[in-house]
Amino acid sequence: MTDNVTGTDLFAESLALLQTLVRNACVNDLTPDSGQEVRNADALEEFFTVDPAVRDAVTITRLEPRPGRTSIIVTVEGSDPDAEPLTFLGHTDVVPVDAARWTVDPFGAEIIDGKIYGRGTVDMLGLTAPMAVVTRQVARAAAAGAPPRGTLTFVGVADEEARGGLGAKWLSEEHPAAFSWRNCISETGGSHLPTSDGSDAVVVVVGEKGAAQRRLHVTGDAGHGSQPFGRDFTVARIAEVARRIAAHRPAVSQDPLWQGFVEAFRFDPQVQDALLTGADDDAYLEFGDLARYADAVSHLTVAPTVLRAGQAINVLPSSAHLELDIRPLPGQSDEDVDAELRDALGDLAGEVEIERLISEPAEVSTTDSPLYRAVEQTVGEFFPDAAVVPVLAAGGSDLRFGRRLGGVGYGFALNARDRTLAEVNAQLHTHDEHLHLEDLDLTVRAYAGLVDRFL
């Protein structure tokens, strides 16, 4: 990495702001008063108001459903009300850390060997900071008499890590007109696929799997633990339920996104056919470090995560339950999920009560949109020989709320050629989370190019 690559004002501003956001330690532990994203909202407001010219060129709105759970909205009005708007949707909260497992201060934002370390550097403060920097650059131009044609909005959103109940979900339900959801950019995207022939391919996240959490209940005989003879054991039944669920293999996806993802790797025809038809699960090993991700985006996944039965060691429990983290594919309904579970349970299905917990459908944006084409062109500016591959995210993001309001949303950043999707995914919520400075620089330049191209 040469000095001129990281010597730009945009990079320097992004790095300084990223360090501030990391050090504010807005840790969301999923309790209502954690996060306290107000610290990052304050930092972002100062970032946009320290320059009087910028301050006069933006409109700043702060909204919070609960004290300290603050989202900040910064708008640069466009000159043409009929032009397409663009919204950068960046979240400002981070997940907790196990500090004893880190070799550096999780909130120190230290720079070591060309990387910045800290919780949130990848998920997603390392994208939120460049989004803010590019928005301020556009505001400076507007203050100098050159506003964008379409309106640009930056949103620093609270509570993404807890599925947005005090952040994007609340904003979309209570303040849907506070900013435009029509064209949104958020996490992640921009990493590369290790294709079998060495060709380059860059991923853009166009959708995400849904959520269909379930709790499976069973009952059996209560009684004293000292007299088990002839009992219908609740624990044995829930254990068999768990075994059957874990052993079940849903059908492989027939979605074009899965087909496009497989074809991007340029496997030999036999491997490709096995992956597209589900004929041989061993074919997933061809993905290497991406095998789990590939499996996740090609199937409805069902993961047994919580098991509860009994309280006292000398009492046979009469009830037990198993909780399942289920992620449906686009087009799969709650009824489809329950039918899949009954199929897995077989002759036990009639003895198991299925309780629905959180249920959200999978959401996907079309690739036939002006914003997606602008993203493709932006990738081509930096990597002219790369194929752009639309993919699903195995987890969730705030983009789903914009899609439900009729907008399109894409996960997009940009990483160096040797940064694979597996490497980037491995940084999410891990110990010693870190972002390559080269990727920070690429991302802020890509965002600047995208804004210039789209607006």
* DSSP for residue 351: G
Same domain for 176 and 227? no
Rounded-to-integer distance, Cα 343 and Cα 359, Å? 20
What pTM value is reported for the model? Answer: 0.92
- Binning the chain into helix, strand and coil, the percentages to the nearest 5 are 40, 20, 40
Same domain for 150 and 87? yes
Element (H, E) at 375: helix 370-382
pLDDT at position 136 is 97
Q: Which amino acid is at 129?
A: A
Q: Is residue 22 part of a domain?
A: yes
pLDDT at position 147 is 96
pLDDT beneath 50, residues of the chain:
1-7
Q: Is residue 62 part of a domain?
A: yes
Same domain for 325 and 402? no
Token pair listed for 267: 């496997």
Same domain for 260 and 378? no
Q: Is 234 in contact with 311 (CB distance < 8 Å)? A: no
Element (H, E) at 411: strand 408-411
Same domain for 184 and 273? no
Rounded-to-integer distance, Cα 419 and Cα 321, Å? 42
Query: Any idea what the CATH number is for the domain that residue 373 is in?
Result: 3.40.630.10
Domain that holds residue 127: 9-195+364-454
* 267-294: pLDDT as tens digits: 999 999 999 999 999 999 999 999 999 9
pLDDT at position 396 is 85
* 23-61: pLDDT as tens digits: 999 999 999 999 999 999 999 999 999 999 999 999 999
Domain count, the chain: 3
Beta-bridged to residue 60, according to DSSP, are 74
Same domain for 71 and 105? yes
pLDDT at position 2 is 34
Token pair listed for 420: 């694979």
- Closest C-alpha to 173, from 409, 410, 402, 407: 402
pLDDT at position 246 is 97
Same domain for 51 and 38? yes
Same domain for 273 and 414? no
pLDDT at position 395 is 84
pLDDT at position 407 is 97
